[in-house]
Structures are given as C-alpha cells and as structure tokens.
Structure 1
Amino acid sequence: MDLIIPGAVGLVVGLLIGLVWAAASAAKSRARALADAQAQIKAEVERERLRLADESKVAIARAESAARDAAERQRVAQEAATARERDQLRTERGELDEREARVAKREDKQAAREDQLAAREQAIDKKVEALDRRDAKMREREGQIDLFTADAEQHVAATVAIQREAEARLTTIAGLDREQARAQILARLDGELAAEQAERIAKVEKDLTARAKELGIEVVARAIQRYAAEHTAETTVAKVKIADEEMKGRIIGKDGRNIKAFEQATGVDLIVDETPGSIAISCFSGLRREIARRALEALIGDGRIHPARIEEVLTKCQQDLDREVVKLGEDAAYVCDVSGLHPHLIKLLGKLHWRTSYGQNVLKHTQEVAFLCGAMAADLGLDPKLGRRCGLLHDIGKAIDHEQEGSHPELGYEALKRYGESEIVANAALAHHEGRVVISAYTTLAAAADAISAARPGARSDNVENYLKRLGQLEEIACSFKGVQKAYAIQAGRELRVIVNGHSVPDAELSKIARDIARRVEEEVAFPGEVKVTLIREMRQTAVAR
C-alpha cells in the first residue's frame, strides 16, 4: 500500500508535468503559427501595397499624359483660332487699305474735276468779257459805218454830176460820142490786160491744185473723224495668278515633269520665278499664249496637275478657242458689213485678235482700216463695200506669218487667191506696202488707211511704261519753270496744260514761257507728231463780308 501511494503520486505528478509540457508545446506551436500567419499577412500586405503603388504610378502617368494631350490640343486650337483671327484681321486691314485708296483716288478725281470746272468757268468768264468788248466795238463801228455811208452817198452824187459834166466836155472836144470812146478804151484795155489774164490763169491753176490737195485732206480727215477706236493689246508675256506659292511646286512637278510636259504640249515657255502670286507665260504667238493661259488657269482651278491631265485640258481649251476664233471672225465681218467670206478666211480673221503689231491689236486695226477705206471710197465715188472688203483683208497674212515662211503681204495674197477673192482684193493685201504694182485705186486707199491707223497717236507704242515716262517727263519740264504751279499732259501727250501763278507771272511773260517750254520739249523729249503747250494764268481774289 505504501508502494502504491507514492507510485500514484508519481504518476499524477508525471501526468501533470506531461500536461504542462504538452500545453507549453501547444502554446509554442500556436505562437509559431501565429507568427507565421502574421509574417504571411505582412508579406501579402507589402505585395498589395507595392501593387497599389505601381497602379497609382501608372494611373498618375496616364493622367499626366492625358492632361498633356488635352493641353496640347487646347494650345493647337488656340493657335489655329489666333491664326484665323490674324488672317481675318489682315483681310479686313487689306480691305480697309483698298477702301482708303479708293476714297483717296475719288478725292483726287474730285479735286481734279473741281480744278477743271474752275478753269472752265474762268475761260467762260473771259469769253463773255471778250464778247462784251466785241459787241461794244461792233456797235461803235456800226455808228461809224452809218456816218461813212452818208458821206459816201454825198460823194457819189457829186462824182456822178462831175462825171456827166466831164463826158459832155470830152464829147465836145474829141468829136466822139460815148459808144465810140468806150470801144477805143476797151480795145486798149484788152491789150494791156493780156499779160494780167495769163497771170490770173496761172494763179487759178495753182489755186485749183491747192484746192484738190485740200479736198483730199478733207476726205481723209472726214473719214478719220467718223471713226475712232481704242486699241488694247498684250505684248509677248501673259501672267496667271496663283493662290499660294505651293502651287508653283505642283506645276513644276517631280523632276520638272509637269512643266516640261506643259511646255512641249503648248509650245510656250513657263517662267516660274520668285515673283509672288503669279506665273508668266512667254511666247511670240499670241494664239498659243492664250491657249496656254486658259489651260494653266483650268489646271490650277482643278488642282489635278499631271501630264495626262495636261493633255486633256489642253485639248478642251483648243476646241473652245477654235469656236471663239470663228465667232470673232464672224463678228469682225459683220461689223464691217463684209459678207460672202470663205470659212477659212473667217478663221484667219479671228486669229488676228491675238496678233499685235507694235502694240496695236491687228484685228481692231483691220476693222479701222476697213471703215476708213469705205468712207474714203464713198467720198471719191467708188464702191464702199469693196473698199471695206479690201481694208478688212489687207493684213490677213499676219495670221499665218508665224506658221509659214514669207512676208505677210505675200502670204495674204496667196491665201486670198486660194479662197476665191478677186484680184483687186488680193492686190490690196499684196501692194498696200511699197514695192509692188498697184492695179486699182482700192489698193491706194488701203495703203492710206493703213498709214492713218498706224500713225494715229496712241495706236502703236513700244510699251505702256515708255508712254507714261514720256508724260511724266513733259510735266516735269513744265514744272521746272519759275511761276508754274501745276502741269498736266493730256490727249495722249499731244497737249501740255500749264497753270501758272497769276500773282508772280504777268501776262506779258506768258508767250515767252510757252516758247521756252516748247523748245525744251523739242530738245529733251522724243515724241510722235506735235505737242501743244497751253498756259493758263488765273487770278483769284477773296473777300469776306461779315
């Protein structure tokens, strides 16, 4: 029993120790599991934090990129709006400048018109004063004439009485009656006046010759006065406007392909230089230059520029221009009242619209010559219709002298004979210049009308710049004289109106100043015909009543 109790106690103590140890082991296990769980949770939390940090960085980067894109788009939109506003302001400024220029031009015209009206009023006042003085002089002369008439009547009565008395005395002394004395006196006078009669006959012949010359001048002048025409013509270069400079590169094309194709197809030279807003077309043939100009404008308007399109547009422009050439020829024949022309001659007439001679449009020139020929033929009793026909066709050879060899009179003669015109009309084309045989008066009329049309001031000129330079030179010469206020070259440079200061230049010096100006113009300026110098002296006095 004593052994059992200690054993039981020992067993209980062992069990208790085992239980304590087991509880301690379990606590340690739980502590380790809890630590492991905490470490795992911490690792997962760290991974989630890193993942969230990465996602936040990506989101921030995306937001920043979106914000930059939005800011860039807003900046581009603002720049575009600013550019549009700037362009609109430029356009409005240009329109404003144009309006200001137009207003200034109108003001200048108004001022010039007011000056002209003032000059006209002054001239009218002077004429009225002159007429008043002339009327007073006429009245005074009428009174003197009445007195002279009364005195003359008295003298005539006294002379008649003396003559009768003398006749009675002569009859008594000579033993001849009145008729016998008259016969002797007339016989003596016939002998004395024979030489005077010869002189009078020579004088009459001279007067008739001068009258014939005056009549010819009058016929030509009347024909000129009945017709007046304006001539406008291009030279050898036409300009085509372009919207922007980028179009020049498109016209040239890659390696010059487009411009080479265009020049080969049209036969013209395209001048693409640094001149802003335009391209020049150079060619001596006005017809080819016009075709090229229309084709280039069509290509620029369409936007498609390549060799195939160039040929297509060029063909269409050629067809349109052919129809226009026929229409121009028909209109010219209708205006000049010339009918029955061959269709080829009508086409050649239309081509003359793009032919110039010293700056003068040849089609307008032929119409003017036709009218002058018809007018002079009518005044001389010839057929005016045939005269107009000769004048209209005299330069027909100029329509083909760029295509065939030979002078335009010879080419025109061959063309007219080929298409059924009479020898008179053909000879007018062949012999209207010197060196050919003239077979009819119509050829002479055509030559005269051609010379009249060519010699008319302003009909032919080298270029507009030389013409304007000559006008400016005339005005500068006049303004260089002392006392001259203003000078105007008018009537195509044929008259120079000079306004002098009425306070500093007396009337006695006007003729000297006019002669000096005319002399300097003759020495320093090259001009056709003559220049008339007219001086105007004006005095203005102003008083104000208050």
Structure 2
Amino acid sequence: IQFREEMQQKRAKFHEEFKSKENQIQKSDARLVSREKELRRLENDLKFGENKLKNRNEKFEQKEENLLQKQQKVESIINDQNARLQRIAGISVDEAIKELKKNLEDRVKMEAAQMAIDIKEEAKATAQKEAKEIITYAIENIAYEVTMESTLSTVQLPSERYKGMIIGREGRNIRAFEEITGVKVIVDDTPELIVLSGFDPVRREVARISMENLIKTKNINPNLIEQIVSKATKEVERAIMKAAEDTL
C-alpha cells in the first residue's frame, strides 16, 4: 500500500511538472506571436522612414535643379552685360568678358558654391537625424521584446535513449555543449524532451539548431559538438543578415 501511494504521488508530481512546462511553452509561443506582430509593425515604421528619406532626397535634387537654373540665369546676365559693354565702350568681346569676370564672376561663383553647400548640409543633417530616430526606435522596441521573450527553448527527442547520448559518459557531452554554446541544457523526467535555457535568444537559437543536428547524427561526442555548433552559428548569422537586408 505504501509503495502504491508513493507511485501515485510521483505520478501526480510528474503530471504537475509536465503541465507546468506545457504552460511555459504555450506562454512562450504567445510571446513569440506578439513579437512577430511587433516586428512587422517596426518593419512598416522603417519603410515609412525610408519613404521620408526618399522624399527628402527628391527635395534636395529639386533644390540642386533650382540652383542650376539660377547659375544659367547668371550666365545669361553676364552675356547681356558683355553685349552692353561692347556697345557702350566700343571694346572687344574678349575685353568685355575680362572686365565682367573681374567684377562679377568670383562673387557669383562663391555665392553659388555656398548655396550648394548649405543645401547639401541641410539635407544631410535632416536625413541623419531622421535615420537615427528610426533606428533608435526600432532597437528600443526589439530590445524590449527580447527581454520579455521566454528564456526557454525545447527540443523533441526521437526516444528516451537520446538523453543518455546527450549527457555522455561522465557528463562529457552535455558539459561540452553548454561550454561551447553558453546555453544550459535541462534533462528531466519529461518524456522525449529536453529544455535549453539562456537569456541570449541568438545563442539559444544556435543551441537549438545544433542540438537538432546532433540528434540526427546519432553519434554525439565533444569534437562533433564543436563542429556542428560552428556550422549552426554561421547559419544563424546568415539568417540574421538576410532578415536585416529584407527589412531595410
């Protein structure tokens, strides 16, 4: 009777722990869905900022066009002055041009150059400010979502015997895995399931991919762990770069 009661207590404790982990996984899924929605919103914000920068560039190009028109107008005025000086003073066209250049050309060029510099500096300063605001907003929101996200990831096992392979002789495999990835591996009584725990979502994703690939090899050892984690790290880095490029 005592043995039966102990078994019932253990069974009840196991179901309670399993239910707790199931609730944690459900909460984690909900947070991930929420984060995905937030990332889509941030993507829209970034596109909006990109459109604002595009409009700013178009205005800058229009100002440059206006500047070019003003320069052409100044050249036309100079040509008219050439003709007038030639008529009034009876001097040659070359002499008239030299005289006009001496009095007007340097000043006109200096004013035009200064105007171009002012336009470019204004456009650059405005664009940098808007870009900084957009990026800062995105980083703050993503950081908030990462903080709120669960620190747990789960990996399904084909069978219970894989737990022993993951732990390894005298715990060599699990210690090597945790040291290389920086993620804690939790092996408990949950059937055909292990839990990966870590605050860094990138490291945790590398650990999850690595563990799934190790399970496929069916021959887990410290050397193989190092090789597979290295490949998984590069895979995650490429995925992050692609996501960033697609967002921008």
TM-score, normalised with respect to structure 2: 0.40
Say which one has the larger Rg: 1
Pick the structure with more helix per residue.
2
Which fold has the larger relative contact order, with Cα–Cα distance below 8 Å and residues 6 or more apart in sequence?
2
